[in-house]
Amino acid sequence: AAKILENFVGDAKWAHLDIAGMDFVDNPKPYQEKGATGFAVRTLVELAARLAE
């Protein structure tokens, strides 16, 4: 996907982060719902916010 995106971004700085489907929970817990976990998404958002400062 990154190679395809490269054709459209021009001179802009960009990054492709392949973060989809890291883990899937079949047996939910009180702190975690059934389904895709979104592993590390909050960490990535926090990193992006700090780098943007």
| Residue ranges per structural domain of the chain | 2-52
8 within 8 A of 17, measured Cβ to Cβ? no
Residues 47, 32, 40, CA angle at the centre, nearest 5°? Answer: 20
CA dist 28 → 5, 21, 36, 43 (Å): 36, 17, 11, 22
Q: What is the pLDDT of residue 46?
A: 94
Report pTM. Answer: 0.46
Tell me what pLDDT residue 39 has: 77
Residue 21: the pLDDT is: 62
pLDDT, tens only, 28-49: 999 888 998 887 888 889 999 9
